[in-house]
Amino acid sequence: DAGITQSPRHKVTETGTPVTLRCHQTENHRYMYWYRQDPGHGLRLIHYSYGVKDTDKGEVSDGYSVSRSKTEDFLLTLESATSSQTSVYFCAISERQGLAEAFFGQGTRLTVV
Amino acid sequence: AQRVTQPEKLLSVFKGAPVELKCNYSYSGSPELFWYVQYSRQRLQLLLRHISRESIKGFTADLNKGETSFHLKKPFAQEEDSAMYYCALTYNTDKLIFGTGTRLQVFP
């Protein structure tokens, strides 16, 4: 498996609280992605990064922010968690766009109560 | 907008039967297309990519630009093929977009 680790693996939080998920890679890949996986919706891109301090929005970015201050870390923050953000979150890394294979983390199961 | 469509949420077959998981995309240019697979309790992983024209675990997929399709096929399904399959697309940006997925169940 590619060196990609997500933390925490599971989290339960209350509505309105901030939450930060961490994705850490040891592959020195340029691209990093955050997806959420929901039944009936598959994987939807939240935000992605194409370099340190270079990020862009995906298709479901509302309510989420990201930061990438180092190549190896990509943080996803829910400023004020809502029940609709209950999901499984996946981080992925890729060496380059297009033809490159994306490697995925094991996922973080987030429950907002 | 670019989109990947997988019309079937669930596909159930018996062992030894042929399998075809459908994938259609909307993009006017030349996309790069992939199939990813997620086995139970495992990470999502790349199965194959169209540019490689390869066969992995007996699966093949051909890009049909006229029909904007990239269907995944296997002539004889095995029980260990049971998994969630996602078709994905990337184009002239840095985004990797996935379809909604198809769960394949192969019965003995």
pLDDT in tens, B52-82: 777 889 999 988 888 999 999 999 999 999 9
Query: Under DSSP, is residue B79 helix (H, G, I), strand (E, B) or coil?
Result: helix
Asked if residue A55 lies in contact with residue A68, where contact means CB atoms within 8 angstroms, the answer is yes
Q: What pLDDT does residue A99 have?
A: 54
Inter-chain touch A50–B94, beta carbons under 8 Å: yes
Residue B50 has pLDDT above 90, yes or no: no
The verdict on a CB contact (< 8 Å) between A42 and B49 is no
A91 contacts in chain B (CB < 8 Å): none
- Higher-confidence residue of A36 and B92: namely A36
DSSP summary character for residue A53: T
Which portions of chain A are predicted below pLDDT 50?
A: none
The pLDDT value recorded for residue A51 is 92
For residue A101, what is the DSSP state? Answer: P
* Whether residue B90 has pLDDT greater than 90: no
> Over 70: is that where the pLDDT of B36 sits?
yes
Q: Do B43 and A98 touch (CB under 8 A)?
A: no
Inform me whether the pLDDT recorded for B38 exceeds 90.
yes
Sorted by sequence, the CB contacts under 8 Å of residue B105 that are 6+ apart come out as B10, B11, B12, B13, B82
| Confidence band for B32, pLDDT divided at 50, 70 and 90 | confident
The total of other beta-carbon atoms located within 10 Å of residue B97's CB is 24
Distance CA B64, CA B70 (A): 6
pLDDT recorded at residue B2: 78
Task: Return d(Cα B98, Cα B108) in angstroms, integer.
Answer: 30
Q: How far is it, in rounded angstroms, from Cα B15 to Cα B34? A: 25
Give the distance from residue A18's alpha carbon to the nearest chain B alpha carbon, in angstroms: 26
pLDDT at B91 over 80: no
In this structure, the dihedral spanned by the alpha carbons of residues A25, A28, A33 and A34, taken in order and rounded to 10 degrees, is 20
Q: Please, are residues B26 and B102 in contact by the beta-carbon 8 Å criterion? A: no
Q: Which residues from A are below 8 Å from B when comparing CB atoms?
A: 1, 31, 33, 35, 40-45, 48, 50, 56, 58-59, 90, 92, 94, 97-99, 101-107
Buried b (16+ CB within 10 A) or exposed e, B10-41: ebebeeeeebebbbbbebeeebbbbbbbbeee
Contact B46, B36 (CB under 8 A): yes
Inter-chain Cβ pairs, chain A and chain B, closer than 8 A: 54
State the pLDDT at residue B30. 76
Stretch (H or E) spanning A93 = strand A87-94
Report the percentage of chain B scoring pLDDT > 70.
98
Closest CA to A79 of A31, A13, A35: A13
CB–CB of B96 and A42 under 8 A? no
Of the candidate ranges A4-18, B15-29, B86-100, the one whose mean pLDDT is the lowest: B86-100
Closest Cα of chain B to A101: distance in Å? 7
pLDDT for the residue numbered B92: 65
In whole angstroms, give the CA distance from residue A22 to residue A73: 7
